[in-house]
Amino acid sequence: MFVSCTDAEDLKIFLKQKEFLQREAALKRYEQRVEELKLQEVPGTLEPSAIPDAQVLGKGIVDPHRGQVFEKLIGGNDLFPVSYLESGLIAAKSVCRLQLRDAAGRTAGFGTGFLVAPSLLLTNHHVLSSEATAEWSIAEFNYELDTFMREKEKKSFRLQPDKLFLTDEELDFTLIAVEERASDGTLANEFGYLPLFPQKGKASAGEYVSIIQHPSGAAKAVAIRENKITDIFGDFLHYETDTLEGSSGSPVFNDSWTVVALHHAGVPDPDTPGAFLANEGIRVSSIFQRISDKAASLSLEQQKLVTGLIGDTSVEEQPLQMEVGELSKKRYETAEGYIPSFLGPEVPLPELQGVLLEDAAKLKDGGILLDYTHFSIVMSMARRLAFYTAVNIDGSQLLDIKRSRDKWYFDPRISEAFQCGPDIYEANDLDRGHLVRRRDPVWGEKAKEANEDTFHFTNCAPQHKHLNQKTWLDLENYLLNGAENHKLKVSVFTGPVFRDDDPLYRGILIPQEFWKVAVMITNNGRLSATAYLQSQKNLIKDFEFTYGEYKTYQVSILMIEKLTRLGFGKLKEHDPLKSEVREIQQLEHITL
């Protein structure tokens, strides 16, 4: 159905019709679901959470965003750390008001949307159902009231449907590009974004959700926590939440401030005009899958945009089933591994001394270095994880090889007893985190072998699903994209921080911090070595542990040496950050 956007009144009528149809469809689903549950003789959905045993996980791994949520679920305690509110404010920055306008600039209605990538916005199909509507509409960020109930300065961005407009009436979503810079120079990436994750089970019936929204087109508001999920079925969630007209397109959050659904309709009470039986949202896992399915039909430029959304966190990258395979022994004999002279100047591997050297897993030939295609690894016997990984990246030869299946390998050159295998990752919130990122060594004639080599358990570390959100993932993209766009060579070292107080889970001490050192030749021909740390520890208070969100910092290489007891030799002389600790909230904060 097409509607001309040249007249605001026509557009208002059209938007009302679309909203009415969504409510009618929601009511039909609700009634069908009621009948279905009656037949099953169950009071509500029994779909399990992604957390199979909250008591066990609560003792073993604490989701830093949730703080004391497990205590709430188990013991009835309603206390939350104050950082919960701070995390909510950060999430709220990415939410905007959509002002729907006609070609003359007249306002026809309002909706809500939110950034899911630096320049991609998600809302409902019934809010933005056509490129013609989107062409004249604007996204307004920072439309909210301060503590004195005064309006803050709004930042308005044009939508760019000609760049990307991906819409789906069945799941009622529209993914659309947003201009990167407003007319006043404000960058869209200053508002962050809310990543979409493909895994199901981010919420379950009986849990509570929050919605950040622009009700009736008014200033930003939040319906916080006391909004119970009443049912989960198919592609939808039902919940008891306060929303008004204009809230369509709002993100629905769990207690980790992770988006679990896209709010789109109320379920009207057929017996009471103006009343609602529930509110309905479309599950993020369903939207994510639909976007992935549609990506193949997009142009090359559009695929690049969507890759920023579904890239290394896609369903393909985090499949539910893992297969353990085996490679031929001859394969390892030809692997060249990390090359210290790759950049020109010598960049040696980190040095292990004393107890670290004694703990290094020995190969049959007595060495400790596991060489793969374009990267190398040294393993800790006690922790069953890598002390460090080292990879060479050639930006002029990078290739895009898609991941076809989830097949992982033990390395036969060391005992399996020294490798953290598949058991640690089953039925929990732990991801199989690549230390050498899958795409980094995928270049040159042996790109295919390099891609496959990254799927060794030696290159894998148990990482909570929130670890790679936002800034850390942005940092990895920044390094790889910079190498590719500028045809640079980069050498990157990565590893976990081993601490005695790391939480024990299934016999493995789970690292809560990860570090990275990137080395490259700058435009002036000088060697640059920069270090980064992702942590939920408070660096300002001498690393005293506090529960909070994961943050990414640029730190000195000297600090990485102190934390890991690895030696980086003369690299410290090429570090522009000598002693300062700097939180990275935007990539512009990085000092090279």
Residue range 421-425: mean pLDDT, rounded: 84
Residue range 575-589: mean pLDDT, rounded: 63
pLDDT band at 466 (very low <50, low <70, confident <90, very high): low
The answer, yes or no, to whether residue 522 has pLDDT greater than 50, is yes
pLDDT of res. 4: 45
If you search the block for the tokens 């499949």, which residue do you land on? Answer: 319
The answer, yes or no, to whether residue 173 has pLDDT greater than 80, is yes
pLDDT band at 142 (very low <50, low <70, confident <90, very high): very high
| Higher per-residue confidence, 541 vs 232 | 232
Least confident of 221-230, 242-251, 389-398, 430-439: 242-251
DSSP for 465-504, please give it.
Answer: TTTTSTHHHHHHHHHHHHHHHTT-EEEEEEEEPP-TTSPE
Task: Give the CA dihedral 332, 336, 339, 342, nearest 10 degrees.
Answer: -140
pLDDT of res. 580: 64
For the chain, what is the mean pLDDT?
A: 79
Residue range 90-96: mean pLDDT, rounded: 93
Return the structure tokens found at 64.
């830093």
pLDDT band at 474 (very low <50, low <70, confident <90, very high): low
Least confident of 134-138, 189-193, 269-273: 269-273
Is 468 annotated as belonging to a binding site? yes
Q: For residue 314, give the 3-state DSSP assignment.
A: coil
Rounded to the nearest 5 percent, the helix, strand and coil shares of the chain are 25, 30, 45
434 carries an active-site annotation: yes
How many angstroms separate the CA atoms of 12 and 412, rounded? 66
The answer, yes or no, to whether residue 405 has pLDDT greater than 70, is no
Positive or negative CA dihedral for 209, 83, 430, 504?
Answer: negative
pLDDT band at 202 (very low <50, low <70, confident <90, very high): confident
pLDDT of res. 538: 41
The answer, yes or no, to whether residue 24 has pLDDT greater than 70, is yes
pLDDT of res. 568: 95
Residue range 427-434: mean pLDDT, rounded: 74
Residue range 314-337: mean pLDDT, rounded: 72
The percentage of residues in the chain with a pLDDT greater than 90, rounded to a whole number, is 36
pLDDT of res. 579: 66
pLDDT band at 316 (very low <50, low <70, confident <90, very high): very low
| Higher per-residue confidence, 484 vs 277 | 277
Detail the DSSP E strand segments found in 303-459: 323-325, 370-372, 375-379, 386-394, 407-409, 430-434
pLDDT of res. 263: 92
| Higher per-residue confidence, 316 vs 170 | 170
The percentage of residues in the chain with a pLDDT greater than 70, rounded to a whole number, is 75
DSSP for 342-381, please give it.
Answer: TTSS--PPPBP-THHHHHBPPPTTS---EEETTEEEEEBT
Least confident of 132-141, 156-165, 551-560: 551-560
Residue range 301-316: mean pLDDT, rounded: 63
Q: pTM above the 0.85 mark?
A: no
pLDDT of res. 271: 81
| Higher per-residue confidence, 483 vs 438 | 438
Residue range 24-49: mean pLDDT, rounded: 61
pLDDT of res. 127: 92
pLDDT band at 64 (very low <50, low <70, confident <90, very high): very low
pLDDT of res. 51: 32
Return the structure tokens found at 187.
């960058």
Ordered domains of the chain (ranges, CATH):
207-286 (2.40.10.10), 329-588 (3.40.570.10)
Residue range 395-422: mean pLDDT, rounded: 85
Least confident of 154-158, 299-303, 351-355: 299-303
pLDDT band at 455 (very low <50, low <70, confident <90, very high): very high
Q: Which residues pair with 521 in a beta bridge?
A: 527
Q: Catalytic residue among 125, 214, 434, 574, which?
A: 434
- The secondary structure of residue 431, as a DSSP letter, is E
- pLDDT single digits (tens) 237-283: 888 856 665 588 999 998 888 899 999 888 888 888 777 788 899 99
The answer, yes or no, to whether residue 546 has pLDDT greater than 70, is no
